Amino acid sequence: MQHLHGKHIVLGLTGGVACYKSAQLCRLLTKAGATVQVIMTEAAAQFITPVTMQALSGRAVFTSQWDARPDNNMAHINLSRQADAIVIAPCSADFAAKLAQGRADELLSLLCLARPYGKPLLLAPAMNREMWAHPATQRNFAQAAQDGAQVLDVGQGEQACGETGDGRMLEPEELLQDIAASFVPKRLAGRSVLITAGPTFEALDPVRGITNHSSGKMGFAIAAAARAAGAAVTLVAGPVHQPTPRGVQRVNVQSAQDMLQAVQAHLAPADIFIATAAVADWRPAHYAMQKIKKDGSGDLPSLAFVENPDILATVAATERAKNGQLYCVGFAAESENLLANASAKRLRKGVPLLVGNIGPATFGQDDNSLLLIDGQGSHALPRASKISLGHALVAEIARRLPTEAAN
């Protein structure tokens, strides 16, 4: 959550049982390095106390427009100017109506109305499913969005009233991702990105198979960074245990052949293809329908292999890639001679950008170092978290994109 470090967030709470999630959100924001100023409406204080929010934020909570602590008695002006972003979580149906109509009869709505033009305002709706679906509610949130607010998604599931449906406030971890993403420059706005990640699994029999140590963390970090940068992202993932980044469409596959089919099925809308997956080079020539057992003789089973399809080379050879409408980025996981081997792979695959790393030094790790190789030479991204490197790589890709790739 590097984009939250040093940011000052005004966290506004309106009336709703989802206020209990706001306590955890406040804690997550401070752990990510942000400072948090909590503002609560009178209704919010019926669900959670200002004392709790003060303890979690480390700051006195504001609850009234008549608060005399500011020297100029203008809390709504001072607080809005100090904020890097204003987050209303939960945002009730009543508060959305206030925003849509420009009403300002208490501190939080005053602050939203007084915020400078362009100041980020994020709304996290939370209400009963029927209230959320009501045309007036949809109209009010749409108007708030038209007026410059960012309306976040709602969750689906069991609600405090006992009903089930849309309208739940997102979980604190999901809100944290959305808030962090709001600070990321939208370098890929309007673009569509297709990414492969993780290993493939090539089955020998119903029990065994060939795979590798790839955890998928780098590919998932790039997917999250591309989504935060404004792209529509599809992630084709091999067998890994990684949470799907917010807003990313995930397609799970097993083998290299499965991955190629999934890539081809989702390639048409893509402007950018990033092949981070550690795809097995070979697969067994024959699949045993039953487990291959040892018989005690000491004889080894006879295994033959065939070469798997080259997914990156296949995509790079398409007409859209050759005429510049599809920008292809490859990855090379090497064990030695990184520059030489990765440079040769870039030319062999026919891609404009190849990203190299030392596989044994990164598989399963939370950090990495990358070597970017293109037609002009090479450029190193020093060792850092994979999340940080994901954002750095997205920025590098955006800088290299031809302008016509957006079409």
pLDDT tens for 106-140 read: 999 999 999 999 899 999 999 999 999 999 999 99
Give which of 104, 96, 150, 85 is closest to 126, Cα–Cα: 96
Distance CA 141, CA 124 (A): 10
Q: How confident is the model over 142-181, as pLDDT tens digits?
A: 999 999 999 999 999 988 888 899 999 999 999 999 999 9
Distance CA 44, CA 334 (A): 55
Where is 260: in which H helix or E strand?
helix 256-266
Selected from 3.40.50.300, 3.40.50.1950, 3.40.50.720, 3.20.20.70, the CATH number assigned to the domain covering 2-181 reads: 3.40.50.1950
Mean pLDDT for the chain overall: 93
Class of domain 192-406: alpha beta
Distance CA 27, CA 21 (A): 10
Distance CA 357, CA 372 (A): 9
Is the full-model pTM beyond 0.85?
yes
Share of the chain above pLDDT 90, in %: 83
Residue-range domain boundaries for the chain: 2-181, 192-406
What residues act catalytically?
161
CB of 31 closer than 8 Å to CB of 56 = no
Give which of 138, 175, 73, 129 is closest to 62, Cα–Cα: 73
Same fold flag, 2-181 and 192-406 = yes
Share of the chain above pLDDT 70, in %: 99
Q: Is the pLDDT of residue 2 over 80?
A: no
Pairing of strands 367-374, 377-385: antiparallel
- Look at residue 75 in the predicted model and tell me its pLDDT: 84
Give which of 43, 42, 25, 46 is closest to 34, Cα–Cα: 25
Q: How confident is the model over 219-246, as pLDDT tens digits?
A: 999 999 999 999 999 999 999 999 999 9
- Look at residue 360 in the predicted model and tell me its pLDDT: 77
Distance CA 140, CA 318 (A): 46
Q: How confident is the model over 6-64, as pLDDT tens digits?
A: 999 999 999 999 999 999 999 999 999 999 999 999 999 999 999 999 999 999 999 99
Q: In Å, how far are 10, 19, 27, 73, 140 from 57, measured between CA atoms?
A: 11, 14, 7, 22, 30
DSSP state of 263: H
Q: How confident is the model over 56-100, as pLDDT tens digits?
A: 999 999 999 988 888 888 889 889 999 999 999 999 999 999 999
Write the DSSP string, 186-243. -TTTT-EEEEEESB--EESSSS-EE-----SHHHHHHHHHHHHTT-EEEEEE-S---P
Average pLDDT, stretch 255-263? Answer: 97
Q: How confident is the model over 335-346, as pLDDT tens digits?
A: 889 999 999 999
